[in-house]
Structure formats: C-alpha cells, structure tokens
Structure 1
Amino acid sequence: MANLKTSKTSVNVGVDVGKFFLDVYIYEKGLYFQVPNAPLGIKQLLKRLAYYKVLRIVMEATGRYEFDLAQACYEKGLPVVIAKPISVRKFAGAIEQLAKTDKIDAELIANFAATIKPKPTPQKSKNLIIIKDLLARRRQLMHMRTQELNRIKVMGKSFESSCKRVIRLLDKEILKTETKLQMHVDQQSEWAEKQAILESAPGVGNTLTYSILADLPEIGTLSSNKISKLVGVAPLNQDSGIFKGKRRIKGGRANIRTTLYMATLSATQCNPVIKAFYKKLLSVGKLKKVAITACMRKFITILNAMVRDNAAWSHS
C-alpha cells in the first residue's frame, strides 16, 4: 500500500512561561498542555510541536525564565517571538479578556500570535546575553550603593561605619563586574567601530556605550524622531477635542533612558553642544527637568547621526 503524505498543519503557539512550568496552547488545534520548565519538559514540548508547521511560537519576556525555551526553539529553527508583556496585556484588554489563569494566559498569547502576527525576535549570541546580564547586574549594584550612601545621611553617625563597609564591598563587586563586562565587550569585534564613534562624544562613557550597543542595536538606522521614541524621550501629544494636554515622554526602553539620563547630566557640564543647549533652555524659563529631557533627546539624536554617518564627534 502506498504511503500518503500529508502536509503539516500550520499553527500559532502561545506559551505562558513560569518559573516551574510552561503552559502551552496551540491556537488552530485548540490544544492545551503543560510541561515542566526544565530540559526534559522543553524536549517534550518540542517533540509535540514537531508534528506541526509552527508559524510562530510566542512567549512573554520574563527576564530569565523564557531563556532556555527560546534557545532550544532557536536551535530547532523555530520562529521565536519574545513579546513585551504590555503588548499582550493591551491585546487582552482589546478583546475584553479579564479572567486569568495559566491556561487562559497561554490561550491569550496564542490568540495574540495568530491575530497580531508579531515578527520573530532575532536570536542573540551567548556573549551578547552575558553582556546584557552584566549591565543589569552593574545597575543593581550601583542602585544598592546609592541606597547605602543615602542611609549614611538618614541613619546618622552610629551607622556610618556599617554603611561604609557595605559601600566598600559594593565597590569591589562593581569593579569585578566592570572588568568582566569589558572582557566580553572586547569579544564583540563588530562593535569596535561604533564603540569608537560613540565614545568620541564628550559625556559618553563605557556604560552608555555598552548599553546602546547591547540594548539599542537600531542606533544609526532610524530617523531622529524614531530613535527618540524608541528610547522614550520624544514628547507625545495628549490632545483630545478642544483639550490640549501637556506633552510628556512615555514608553521606550527604560534601561537606555536611565543610563542616558546620567550621561546627559555629565554632558551638561562637559559637552559644549549639550551644555549650551541646556543653558539656553534654562534662560528662557524651562524647568530643569524639562531641560534635561530635551537635552537627552538632543544627545541621542546626535549619537544616532554620528553612527549613521560613520563620523566621530566634531564641534566647530
């Protein structure tokens, strides 16, 4: 008897990622199942998906728990989408999905995949993932250091020595982290040219450079307005009918925005262009917070143009 070949069913897959379990929903088949979020469970999941033509497998970004599943899917050549949780929440609101369980969430993500058809997320190299983790760890350590410095002022002399001991320990950890970070950045040979261009600008240090290269790979490829929106420093209108609201910044990539803020504070002192712009804004009555935000926008658009034009800093 001749074997009849049947084509695989095209499916969208939603995965609700948890610390211990992966809740999976195959949208076109109405099929739900759960596996452990562990190597054996991921292997079982991929084995079941092998019977279908996967159009996209969508999971929310959790920070860490989706990593092993995403890597395994990339290795199998599956189109992976790591979606922003806020995008899925907005979709849930649009379809009035109020109930919430692991199964419902998995079905919601699968529905999001089939309806919105989000673009696959490019795979990141292991070295780049390590760099991003080290940057995150440095931010955590710097935050703890700032907290201890503030506690010296609040707690008084009796706790000053304790706070200073913790600060010294944090300084050692920050140095170790930065040394390791530099080692991994050196392995990103494709960054060398952009890194030299960015660091030629007064006020741009290693932290901002590494953050931009790791978390803002679009630098140099977008218009000034688009790069500002991506970072979250473009003022957005809040108008409706005859009501004219204040323009506010919103959304964007928080990690980049925070690092850019600190670099801009430095640039208002050492970068001639940003310094002059900042003083001009203050002279016409702008609040310091508004002026700094405007300087952040100007700073990132300048850096974007430098990378786009492959040109180092020049101030005539």
Structure 2
Amino acid sequence: TTRSALIPQLINRLKLINQQIEEIKEQLAEKIDDNPYQLTTIPGLGYTLAAQFIAEIGHIDRFDSANELARYAGLAPAEYSSGKSQQSSRKKYGCRNLNRAFYLLALQQIGTTRNNRPKNPVAYKYYQKKLAEGKSRKAALVCLKRRLVDIIYAMMRDKSTYELPETPEYEVLNQAS
C-alpha cells in the first residue's frame, strides 16, 4: 500500500516541477526580451542559449574586439615556437561554458529542417565550403564557431538584430517556401 500511496505523490511532485519549469522559462523569455541584446534573432538561438551568452560574456565593452572575445571563449589559435619551428593549435583553456554555447549554436546553424533545407543557409554554405577545402567536420565546425564569435560580438556591440544577407542562393530558398 505504501507504493500505491507514493505514486500519486510523485506524479503531483512531477507536475509541480514541470509547472515551475514553465514559469521560469516565461520569466527568462521576459528578461531576454527586455535585454538590449537581440540574440534571439539568430536562427536556432533560443532564450536559454541567449541567456547563457549574455551571462558568460557580460558587458561586451570589456572586449576591445571580436578577437578578444574569441580568445576568452578559447576559440583563438595559440602559437607555440621553439627555435626555428612554429606551431599553432587551439587553446584548451578559456571559458568552457561560452565555448560550449558557441558549439551548440554552430550545430543549430548547420542543421536542416524536416524538408532538408538549411536553417541558416549562409552558415550552412560556409560550413560546406570549409569541408570542401579539406577540413575535417570538427575543424569546419571550429571555423564556424569563430565566425559566430564575430557575429555575436557585432550584434552585442551595436545592439542590432541578425539579418540573413540577401544572396542569390538565399533568395532562391525563400521563393521555394
């Protein structure tokens, strides 16, 4: 009988937790909408990820350039030299949470819809171009993450919205829908 009494309690607790999650999501959406940074205008960037970018970056004025933001996120290459040899590789340090946020955003950008059209044709084309250059999928994704740093930096600095550039390929995709 204790099991039969426990199950309704657990169901009620689960309903309460789900209700609290929905309330928090609504509050988060209100806060993000009131924020001057309009990051949710980027395709695939929702309120949770926008909040993570804003929380991790803070005031964009503390970065003089997109390069500094990339360095902070651990997306700038680091050079190692010894004598005559020079090597460069990605840093393993930096703000890992911010790096992860750029990773999740990059995955959203190269994703496709149910009818196999890219969510962001410009980012998808850039990713495909990097693959055609012979880069591995991981390296191409890192290149896209670095490109997204430039976009996020400019949007936060200028407090602007994201607008897809009008390219012939994008116009064709728009006419198809």
* Residue 251 (1) aligns with residue 93 (2): yes
SS in 1 for 2:108: helix
Q: Is the 8 A contact 2:155 2:162 kept in 1?
A: yes
Q: Does 1:216 align with 2:65?
A: no
Give the Cα separation in 1 of the matches to 2:142 and 2:17: 28
Identity of aligned residues (%): 27
The alignment yields a C-alpha RMSD, in angstroms, of 2.8
Change (3 A) 1:208 1:227: same
Q: Which residue of 1 aligns with 2:81?
A: 239
Largest Rg, 1 or 2: 1
Mapped contact 1:264–1:292 kept (Cα < 8 A): yes
1:205 aligns with 2:54: no
Instruction: Verify the 8 A CA contact 1:235 1:250 in the aligned structure 2.
Output: no
Q: Indicate how the Cα distance of structure 1 residues 187 and 315 shifts in structure 2: closer, same or farther if over 3 A, else same.
A: closer
Match in the other structure for 1:274 = 123
| 1:70-85 matched pairs, under 5 angstroms | none
Question: Highest relative contact order (Cα 8 Å, sep 6+), 1 or 2?
Answer: 2
Counterpart mapping for 1:85-164 below 5 A: none
Match of 2:28 among 180, 185, 189: 185
Residue 254 of structure 1 deviates from its aligned partner by: 0.9
Structure 2: segments with no counterpart, 5+ residues? 1-13, 112-118, 166-177
Instruction: Rate the CA distance shift 1:180–1:220 in 2: closer, same or farther, 3 A.
Output: farther
CA contact (8 A) 1:232 1:252 kept: yes
What count of residue pairs does the alignment treat as equivalent? 144
Shift of 1:188: 4.1
Question: Which aligned runs of 4 or more in structure 1 are off by greater than 6 angstroms?
Answer: 171-174
Asked whether the 8 Å contact 2:32–2:51 carries over to 1, the reply is no
Does 2:154 align with 1:305?
Answer: yes
Is the 1:219–1:304 contact (alpha carbons within 8 Å) kept by the matching residues of 2?
yes
Which residue of 2 is the match for residue 115 of structure 1? none
Which residue of structure 1 lines up, in the alignment, with residue 70 of structure 2?
Answer: 228
TM-score by length of 1: 0.41
Q: Which residue, out of 277, 280, 285, partners 2:134?
A: 285
Distance 2:23 2:110 in 1: 30
Counterpart in the other structure of 2:9: none
Residue by residue over 1:174-195, the C-alpha shift from the partner in whole angstroms, topping out at 9 and shown as x without a partner, is 956743542543574795221x
Long gaps (5+) in structure 1:
1-170
1:20 corresponds to: none
Alignment partners' CA distance in 2, 1:187 and 1:231? 27
**Equivalent of 1:261, from 91, 103, 111?**
103
Q: What's the counterpart of residue 295 of structure 1?
A: 144
Distance change >3 Å, CA 294–CA 230, structure 1 → 2:
same
Determine which structure has the larger helix proportion and give its number. 2
